[in-house]
A and B are shown apart, each in its own frame.
Chain A
Amino acid sequence: MSEITPDLVRHLGVLARIQLSDAEVERLTGQLDVIVDNIAKVSQVATPDVPATSHPIAMSNVFRPDVVGDMLTPEQVLQNAPDAADGRFRVTAILGEEQ
């Protein structure tokens, strides 16, 4: 079942915030196609009666006490900032909506 089209790849590029060139879209469409076909194989054995495993070693209730620590200094926070002002990171105008 191949469903990968250049339009889909472009949409995925938007979702993933990677600006893909036309050449890249074309190449990726071909490569993802091959991979996805192969991968659909998985559904053959993944029947409804089989539970999914998200963690290889089952554990639960892993918590930490509510005690302060590990904080960075503001200098450390900003030490790799590509652009900063007023003790904060600076970015250009934002298009999308806050969520």
Chain B
Amino acid sequence: MTDLTKLSAAALADKLASGEVSSVEATQAHLDRIAAVDGDVHAFLHVSDHALDVAADIDRRRAAGEQLGPVAGVPLAIKDVLVTTDMPSTSGSKILEGFMSPYDATVVARSRAAGLVPLGKTNMDEFAMGSSTEHSAYGPTRNPWDLERIPGGSGGGSAAAVAAFEAPLALGSDTGGSIRQPAHVTGTVGMKPTYGGVSRYGAIALASSLDQVGPVTRTVLDAGLLHDVIGGHDPHDATSLTDEWPSFAAAAREGATGDVLKGLKVGVIRELPDSGFQSGVSESFRAAIAAMEAQGAEIVEVSAPHFEYGVAAYYLILPAEASSNLAKFDSVRFGLRVDVPGGTVEDVMAATREAGFGDEVKRRVILGTYALSAGYYDAYYGSAQKVRTLIQRDFDEAFAQVDVIATPSAPTTAFKLGEKIDDPMQMYLNDVTTIPANLAGVPGISIPSGLAPEDGLPVGIQFLAPAREDARLYRVGAALEALLVESWGGPLLDRAPALRQAQGPTGQAQGPTGQAQGPTGQAQGPTGRAHGSTGQAQGPTGGAR
């Protein structure tokens, strides 16, 4: 049988629908893959101990003749920022170790209703603050292309999971690039919807006015399929849009086969000179643009004079909102509690947050507290909200001239673990091309554009569209993807180095500790402790393996 893990979600969904493959088989294949490689990759913080039960139920219903949705039976990885009732939700933080939410995030509930099979929760920078997943309290995730390198952040786990073929679909969240930048460094696809296009209910909040949940996949069509499941108005989220959305899968199919690129006006931002970018990144970007031009696209230089203030504005708005959003983690109702003998509850709160928050989180909470403090609001937070207005105006003017804007998804390819961790400002510049979309609320997608010749690492190209024009991104993204994949002779991920598969003496795929998997297919993590035990997700406490 074909390696089921190598199939796109669309292809797998077809085989499930036709009955050629069962969901149990598909799920087992992915659980095996996780067991084989996740010891090295560490994409998952928790692997579900009942995924096969869920899969079996889908198979049963299909056999009984029930009409199931287009992606029913396909496995799904879920970023640990999304709360789930049946698996712990930590948001990558010690302060939420073992937390079991009594309700499912709306996107999780919709995924379950669509018949997707949750495989587990994926790793992330703590509370989604970061661009490398090095700030996870449970150890970093490694880039499947090169295990010494970062998979991007904050959603490195989801991106690595799909890049390593551990899951065909994953959910992520994007506040300043946390879906798009990991897609770029792992050769995968990541889409941030228009703000309000997908419900935030159940996404542990980082910056409420910037956060969006979106799909993380290997192909544009797969992203469209997942987006169709999770998107749309949610009465639980007052900021969710009431628009009726078209099918994004349909848009992707249109893009792949139609004549989308002919006459398409593609904007390139004058103020983002690629001299600031790694040469291989710029080269790949220019090549992708040229390929579009060859198909009849018109490349137009547009001006976005205020984008350069985006990072600064973002690093005021985000910490400010985050400092307020993270105040709820105080030892009283859930999460970590550090006892202080004879201490007041104020002492306990302070000791708990000291122990439970990592350095990056503390840094941003303190900065945010400062930005909102009496006397500083106007100069910092208030001013930053004005930059938002200016960036929106830049976009409005640009989109009056072009249909989409194209940028490299990030300035560099995947850097090495530990390389930037001590220089927060350096780290923050990773987001320079992705941040404007979050500030303005417009949608953005990153698709693979090629490999940088100097290091052979993936590069992504980002497209941006006006607010509510998400479908346009699927059409354009799919069109370029089709072109590029044809020119490569296959998906970019085919060129990723093979990951070593942990094998034991019995030849059975095993966890790295050498213990055989049991018949239930329960995956074993690097510490040998079963993931998916009832609620106590324990990850490695130190650095990576």
Chains A, B in direct contact (C-beta < 8 Å):
yes
Roughly how many angstroms separate A82 CA and B221 CA in the complex, as a whole number?
44
CB-defined contacts of B385 to chain A, threshold 8 Å: 52-54
Shortest Cβ distance from A75 into B: residue: B102
- Size of the chain A interface, CB-CB below 8 angstroms: 57
Q: Which of B236, B336, B366, B438 contacts A13 (CB 8 A)?
A: B366
Q: Which of A76, A79, A82 contacts B337 (CB 8 A)?
A: A82
Q: Which residues of A contact B123 (CB under 8 A)?
A: none
Bound CA–CA A62/B236 (angstroms): 11
Question: In the bound complex, do residue B346 and residue A35 qualify as a contact, i.e. CB atoms below 8 Å apart?
Answer: no
Contact A42-B209, Cβ < 8 Å, known A55-B239, A56-B439, A91-B348: no
Known: A35-B315, A80-B333. A28 touches B362 (CB 8 A): yes
Residues of A with C-beta under 8 A to B349: 17
Are B441's CB and A57's CB within 8 A? Answer: yes
Query: Is residue B23 within 8 Å, beta carbon to beta carbon, of the partner chain?
Result: no
Q: Is the CB of B238 within 8 A of A12?
A: no
Assess the B366–A45 pair: CB atoms within 8 A: no
Distance of B249 from chain A, by nearest CB (Å): 24
Distance in angstroms from A99 CB to nearest chain B CB is: 14
- Residue on A nearest B339 in the bound complex, by CB: A92
A15 touches B379 (CB 8 A): no
A80 CB contacts on chain B under 8 angstroms? 99-100, 333-335
Q: Does A83 contact B (CB under 8 A)?
A: yes
State A81–B280 Cα separation when bound (angstroms): 51
Using A46-B387, A81-B333, A94-B345 as known contacts, say yes or no to A18 and B315 having CB atoms under 8 A apart: no
Closest chain A residue, CB of each to CB of B330: A17
B 228-241 to A, binary, CB cutoff 8 A, 1 in contact else 0 = 00000001101101
Expressed in whole angstroms, the Cα–Cα distance for A46 and B334 within the complex equals 40
Contacts of A85 in B (CB 8 A): none
Bitwise, A13-27 to B at CB < 8 A (1) or not (0) is: 111111111001000
Residue of chain B at shortest CB distance from A27: B359
User: Do the beta carbons of A43 and B379 come within 8 Å of each other?
Assistant: yes
- B residues 379-408 with Cβ under 8 Å of A? 379-380, 382-390, 392
Least Cβ distance of B199 to chain A in Å? 13
A58→B516 CA distance, assembly (Å): 55
In the complex, the answer to whether B362 meets A18 with C-beta atoms within 8 Å is yes
Asked whether B362 lies within 8 Å of A43 as measured between CB atoms, the reply is no
B195's partner among A8, A9, A18, A57 (CB-CB below 8 A) is A57
How far apart sit A51 and B383, CA to CA, in the bound complex (Å)? 9
Query: Which of B36-44, B62-70, B350-358, B507-515 touches A?
Result: B350-358
The answer to whether B390 and A45 have CB atoms under 8 Å apart is: yes
